[in-house]
Amino acid sequence: MKYSFLARYALIILFTLACLVSYAQVADSTSKIPDTLLFKIKQAQATVTEVNASNKQGYNFEVIASAVAKINTDVAALKQGLKARDIDTKALQSYELILKDAGNRLEKVKNALMKSNDNLQQMMEKVLTLSNDTVLVDDQTGNADKVLYSNQLKVIKLRLQNTGEVTGANLERSGKLLAEVSAIDILINDLKTAVADRLQQQGKIALGREVPVLWESTLWANEKLSIWEQVKNSYLGQKQIIQYFFSSTWDKRILLWVIALVFFVWVHRNAKLASRPAVKRKIGELKFSDLHPFPFLATLIVALNLLPLLESDAPSIYIEIIQLVLLLAITKHLTALSAKQWRVWLQFIVAYLFLISIATVSNQGIAMRLLLIGLHLFFIFMALRLFAKLRLQQFPKKYVKAVLAIGIFLNVLAVILNVFGRLSLSKVLALAGVVGCIQLLALAIFIQIILDALELQLRISACSKGIFSRINHGKTRQSVKKILWWLAIVIWSVVFLNHLNLMDVLFNSLKTALSKPRSFGAVHFSFGNILFFILIIYIANKIQKGVPIVFGEGTLSYEGQVEQKSSKVALIRLIIITVALLLALTASGLPMDRVTVILGALGVGIGLGMQNIVNNFVSGVILIFERPFRIGDFVELADKKGRVKDIGIRSSKLLTQQGSEVIIPNGDLLSGRLVNWTLSHDYVKTELLFKVPVETDLDRLKKLIDEQLAKTQHRMEHLPPEMLVNTIAAGAIEIKLLTWVENIYAEPLFKSELMIGLIKRLNEAEIKIL
């Protein structure tokens, strides 16, 4: 009985526990549904907000579509341009660069689209996952919790649907753009291959016979494209080249127009100053044929002539257009031509315009080729006439004849090549010869404009005592003219070689030769490093020599007012030389351990025999900072007297009153006894000795001397003179006259004028001078 009771009690306990567990599970189940539903609703709201924010912010599809359309237009134009038969190497290289740039731009667009597409797909997956979640479905089963959240579930469902539609539309647009990008990418790769093939065959085509000889050609070649279509295709291709060139070299063009603006302001300011009555009376009437108070045309000519230096890799068509603009600008300057000469000049312009237009047509018919030959013969005839008559004062005669001879030779060669079927090479050579002659005329006017502007500046500076008044005008004109000659040679060579498509070849060859590593024992160097080293030292030397001119110390004499100059010129020279030496060593690429070895060897050299050089150098540095004298001071050292003309690093120069220049080592100036007559002031006390009879009235004599001193120039009026009896001899009195002179440089003139006046007055007073 006892065990049955216990068993019955255990069963009751187990049943109770089972009921409690079952109730707990039901309770958990009923509470889990609303918790999950609330979480899903919050998740859906957050996802919809995130996706809508991304869609509202946008994926820059408008900008991307515009960029894709621009790339497509550029590439399509290049594709059309490549249909032309005659495309020179320079144009093909430009095509290659444009395609490379288009590929880079397309790659950026593609990366942006891929990123946007991945983001949209992730957003779409989230929207679809939430849309298909059964917890968020209002199934109308009578579930109390879903009935309670029925309105929210409907709103969430609607928002998910709208968000999905917008996201799907963006995803579809992204896919279409990716498809366009893929198609353009394939086209770019095909065009790159075509351009590479054309470049590979270009040399063979140019040197080989590309068309039949002239007598075997038909009147009009049977081309697939008409002449108008050829010109149109060439125009589209060249337009893309110029547009790409303009967009990639805008910084160089800004620099050019800054230079042009500086030139315009410089000339305009000087012309305005020269028109003032006070200045005009001093410099006279200025007549410059190439300069005007508002030099717009002169500035344009200067800018267009300097353009090849900044844009040496310009396409051929760009150079030809620049030359045409230069021709039109030059026409305005040719005011002295006769009516006949004007007609010839206009014929030349029209012929050049025809030449650059026909050069774009690839028609191989005999009519077009004969037209080209006629143009070549016309330019040959013009150059032959100019060869004997043309005189350009801006250039040596041999330079002008050399350019004309090159033009004649290239056009004769162009005729021969045209006749024997080398048509492309014929066009290139003819254009190069004509452009070279045009550039010669443009450079002549360019040089004259610069020389006129310099002359105007020299005249203005001479009146205003500016910096140009301190230099030798004759030497300056000759130096500037030589510099302009060399500049003209460089500009002409760049234009000429660029038109022959040789500029890149020569530049790359020169670059390779200069940058190729070389070795001399354990020292490694390149010719470029050596060139930079020499160039830096040369420029620094020229600059440090010109420093005195900036501070007014370029010219020094004993005439006029005495002006002492500070010795900071020597300090600036020292800084320039030091900085230049450091820059030159850096540019040389010489390792610092090698520099240490050189300095060690230099120390040994100093110890063996360079003590004097180092002593003078160190003394020069000490003189710069201690400043015992300044440039312009009158000093006396041993038997040498003179005015300090220059304080150098190793030696200094004295200008004596006899006009000679004495070079004194700085060591002697520092260690010797130096007398500086003008360190604190310029005036000096001078003395005059003469003898008079012992019976002379000294009071009357003093009165005569005072009267004469009052009439003599350069006397210090506020410092009274002194008349002293120096000695008394048998029958004579020696008089010492002490008086102050304004500056030491006027002492000889003062003493001479005083003695001449005293002799005259003493003779009148019947006082004998013994």
Alpha-carbon separation of residue 115 from 110, 169, 254, 688 (angstroms): 9, 16, 37, 101
Task: Output the six-digit token pair for 723.
Answer: 């008349």
pLDDT at 540 over 70: yes
H/E element holding 151?
A: helix 150-207
How confident is the model over 336-357, as a mean pLDDT? 81
Q: What is the pLDDT of residue 590?
A: 66
* DSSP symbol at 215: G
Measuring CA to CA, which residue among 78, 368, 423 is closest to residue 233? 78
pLDDT at 181 over 90: no
Range with the poorest average pLDDT among 25-29, 566-570, 626-630: 25-29
Q: What is the pLDDT of residue 33?
A: 44
Place 146 in a pLDDT band, splitting at 50, 70 and 90.
low
Range with the poorest average pLDDT among 28-42, 210-224, 264-278, 412-426: 28-42
* Residue showing tokens 């032309």: 84
Amino acid 639 reads D
Interior CA angle at 672 toward 667 and 675, to 5°? 120
Place 28 in a pLDDT band, splitting at 50, 70 and 90.
very low
Interior CA angle at 511 toward 507 and 514, to 5°? 140
pLDDT at 340 over 90: no
Range with the poorest average pLDDT among 125-129, 553-557, 587-591: 553-557
3-state helix, strand, coil in the chain (%, to 5): 70, 10, 20
H/E element holding 221?
A: none
N-to-C CA span, the chain: 179
Q: What is the pLDDT of residue 15?
A: 43
Interior CA angle at 326 toward 344 and 236, to 5°? 105
CA-CA distance, 552 to 262, in Å (whole number)?
25
**Is 738 within 8 Å of 724 (Cβ atoms)?**
yes
Place 469 in a pLDDT band, splitting at 50, 70 and 90.
low
H/E element holding 105?
A: helix 89-131
Backbone angles phi, psi at 12, to 5 degrees: -60, -40
Helices (H), 694-746: 698-711
Name beta bridge partners: 655: 643, 661
Interior CA angle at 117 toward 115 and 122, to 5°? 100
What 695-704 contacts at long range (C-beta under 8 Å, 24+ apart), as own/partner pairs, is 696/733, 696/767, 698/723, 698/725, 698/733, 700/765, 701/735, 701/767, 704/758, 704/761, 704/762, 704/765, 704/767
CATH code for the part of the protein at 684-764: 3.30.70.100
Residues 661-682 pLDDT 10s:
888 888 888 777 888 877 777 7
CA-CA distance, 574 to 232, in Å (whole number)?
63
Q: What is the pLDDT of residue 523?
A: 66
Instruction: Report the SS3 class of residue 604.
Output: helix
Q: What is the pLDDT of residue 1?
A: 42
Task: Output the six-digit token pair for 79.
Answer: 């594709």
Residues 672-715 pLDDT 10s:
788 887 777 777 888 888 888 888 888 888 888 888 888 888 88
How confident is the model over 557-575, as a mean pLDDT? 59
CA-CA distance, 180 to 110, in Å (whole number)?
10
CB neighbours of residue 189 within 10 Å? 12
CA-CA distance, 211 to 217, in Å (whole number)?
8
Backbone angles phi, psi at 279, to 5 degrees: -75, -40
Maximum Cα–Cα distance across the chain: 184
How confident is the model over 306-311, as a mean pLDDT? 85
Give the count of alpha carbons within 13 A of 333, CB side only. 25
> Which range, 146-150, 193-197, 485-489, 549-553, is most confident?
485-489
pLDDT at 741 over 80: yes
Residue predicted with more confidence, 608 or 124: 124
Measuring CA to CA, which residue among 435, 448, 359, 356 is closest to residue 403? 435
CA-CA distance, 354 to 434, in Å (whole number)?
12
Place 30 in a pLDDT band, splitting at 50, 70 and 90.
very low
Place 261 in a pLDDT band, splitting at 50, 70 and 90.
very high
H/E element holding 733?
A: strand 732-741
* DSSP symbol at 522: T
pLDDT at 81 over 90: no
What are the residues whose beta carbons fall under 8 Å from the beta carbon of 99, sequence distance 6 or more? 75, 78, 188, 191, 192, 195
Instruction: Report the SS3 class of residue 711.
Output: helix
CA-CA distance, 711 to 562, in Å (whole number)?
22
CB neighbours of residue 382 within 10 Å? 21
CA-CA distance, 307 to 330, in Å (whole number)?
16
Backbone angles phi, psi at 247, to 5 degrees: -70, -25
How confident is the model over 556-578, as a mean pLDDT? 62
**Is 709 within 8 Å of 715 (Cβ atoms)?**
yes
Q: What is the pLDDT of residue 262?
A: 92
Q: What is the pLDDT of residue 154?
A: 72
Helices (H), 500-591: 503-515, 527-550, 568-588
Please state, for a pLDDT cut of 70, what percent of the chain lies above it. Answer: 75
Mean pLDDT computed over every residue of the chain = 75
Alpha-carbon separation of residue 202 from 197, 208, 276, 396 (angstroms): 8, 10, 62, 38
All structural domains of the chain with their residue ranges: 47-207, 250-502, 523-676, 684-764
CB neighbours of residue 41 within 10 Å? 18
How confident is the model over 732-744, as a mean pLDDT? 84
Q: What is the pLDDT of residue 100?
A: 80
Instruction: Report the SS3 class of residue 726.
Output: strand
**Is 495 within 8 Å of 308 (Cβ atoms)?**
yes
Helices (H), 390-526: 397-419, 423-464, 473-499, 503-515
**Is 616 within 8 Å of 650 (Cβ atoms)?**
yes
pLDDT at 755 over 90: no
Task: Output the six-digit token pair for 757.
Answer: 């006046």
Residues 382-422 pLDDT 10s:
888 887 777 777 788 888 888 889 989 999 998 888 888 77
